[in-house]
Amino acid sequence: MKALVVNCGSSSVKYTLFEMENEKKIAWGLIECIGLPEAFYKRETVKNKETKESVKVANHTEAVELIINELLDKKKGIISDVSEIDVVGHRVAHGGDKFSKSVLVTGKVKEELKDCFSIAPLHNPAHYAGIVAVEKMLPGIPSVLVFDTAFHQTIPDYAYMYALPYDFYERDHIRKYGFHGTSNDYISHRAAVLLNQPLNTLKLITAHLGNGSSITAIENGRAIDTSMGFTPLQGVIMGTRCGDIDPAIIAYLIDQYPEYKDAKTLNDLMNKKSGLAGVSELSADMRDILKAVSGGNKKVQLAFNMLVYSIKKYVSAYYGVLNGADALIFTAGIGENSAPVREAVCKNLNALGIELDVEKNKERSREERFISTSNSKVKIIVIPTNEELMIARESRRVIGNNK
């Protein structure tokens, strides 16, 4: 059985084809900068080495067509017939409060997804276009939607509500949704295996630190709070996102600056020009930040300190919310690869029983690994995330249930 995982971003399509018998990737790649002259297509299969070339693709439909046609290509391809694909799993960024779990795509589901466009205007229309394009290319093959927000549907009301007039919740569905749910689902299951304890007995704090970052408190396998909110802007400081700020700053900017009068400009400011990039005035990329820190750049040092401090505050808050923790888990680009960030986050958290083994932390590895001291009450674990595999498994589970 093969599962194709498709992730349509605002201007990209990423895909992975899995052989589900052994859960191995057999083809993967991406098309980026869709609709722009610099669009490119990068792909690899178990048969062919990575290749990258410029392509002309006007929209998500053309991108999906290109990908599927190449998977079927006699020379470059990896499957001989579309019927080899049993299910397609689509990553969907925002399910709003309509979707609390993965669903099989039907006409009704597509209409409901359209209702979630306003809540994720960059992502959900792209997902929709991807779903329609896949249906056209792979008629009769079931598609499943796996939502980044679904894992967080267990968060209680007092944690997901904002203290705005209640109307805004009822009418506009303004509430915390949370993101990186599929990643949290995957790493929490792996943590249970590594800790050799049932997931439904564990208290976990996860730090998914990538370009977008979020911290999540998980009790007995269920999310009880997460740092991202109505959108992926809330929470810790990120590459280009400001994370938590006093919302009155927005009113101030509107009042003081003619250029900050519309939602798009303000959203761009907070989502694309802030965070590490905004404070350091250098880069959104942690690798550049770490290089410049060692070179003594003060603004970069400040940006690094702010990012680490914001993570530390959420980790500590969630320790309190959970009334303890069995493990702190680091994942995603920064969480998996950046020893200095992990060290700075864990420093002086021994009051909570969080004690990092500094030497183990420095060892480079792509494997799952414990990096806490043997005395640490809270185990510290690095777990490489695998959202694609989780989506493939979920998709298979959903069609199994629908047969």
Of 12, 100, 211, 265, which one interacts with ligand ADP (CB under 6 A)? 211
**Is the separation of the CB atoms in 14 and 29 below 8 Å?**
yes
CA angle 236, 296, 208 (to 5 degrees): 25
Q: What minimum distance in Å lies between the beta carbon of 284 and ligand ADP?
A: 7
368-399: burial string, b at 16+ Cβ within 10 Å, e else: bbbbbbeebebbbbbbbbbbbbbbbbbbbebb
Q: What minimum distance in Å lies between the beta carbon of 62 and ligand ADP?
A: 23
Point out the catalytic residue in the list 81, 97, 115, 148: 148
Count residues contacting ligand ADP (CB under 6 A)? Answer: 12
Residues 239-268 close enough to bind ligand ADP by CB under 6 A: 239
Shorter beta-carbon distance to ligand ADP: residue 61 or 337: 337
Interface stretch with ligand ADP, choices 61-69, 81-89, 246-254, 285-293 (CB under 6 A): 285-293
> Strands, DSSP E only, in 46-139?
51-54, 85-92, 103-104
Rounded Cα–Cα distance for residues 351 and 377 (Å): 10
Using rule CB under 6 A, residue 59 touches ligand ADP: no
Shorter beta-carbon distance to ligand ADP: residue 178 or 212: 212
The pair of three-digit structure tokens given for residue 49, joined into one six-digit string: 């080495």
Shorter beta-carbon distance to ligand ADP: residue 210 or 235: 210
Rounded Cα–Cα distance for residues 327 and 370 (Å): 10
Nearest to 189 by CA among 218, 216, 214: 218
Rounded Cα–Cα distance for residues 109 and 262 (Å): 32
Nearest to 6 by CA among 332, 339, 391: 391
Shorter beta-carbon distance to ligand ADP: residue 11 or 211: 211
Using rule CB under 6 A, residue 337 touches ligand ADP: yes
Q: What minimum distance in Å lies between the beta carbon of 262 and ligand ADP?
A: 27
Q: What minimum distance in Å lies between the beta carbon of 358 and ligand ADP?
A: 17
**Is the separation of the CB atoms in 11 and 32 below 8 Å?**
yes
The pair of three-digit structure tokens given for residue 192, joined into one six-digit string: 């249970």
What are the counts of helices (DSSP H) followed by strands (DSSP E) for the chain? 15, 14
* 148 catalytic per annotation: yes
Of 233, 332, 344, 399, which one interacts with ligand ADP (CB under 6 A)? 332
Interface stretch with ligand ADP, choices 36-44, 141-149, 332-340, 393-401 (CB under 6 A): 332-340
Using rule CB under 6 A, residue 278 touches ligand ADP: no
Residue nearest to ligand ADP as judged by C-beta position: 333
- Active-site residue set: 148
Chain residues binding ligand ADP by CB under 6 A are 210-212, 239, 285-287, 332-334, 337-338
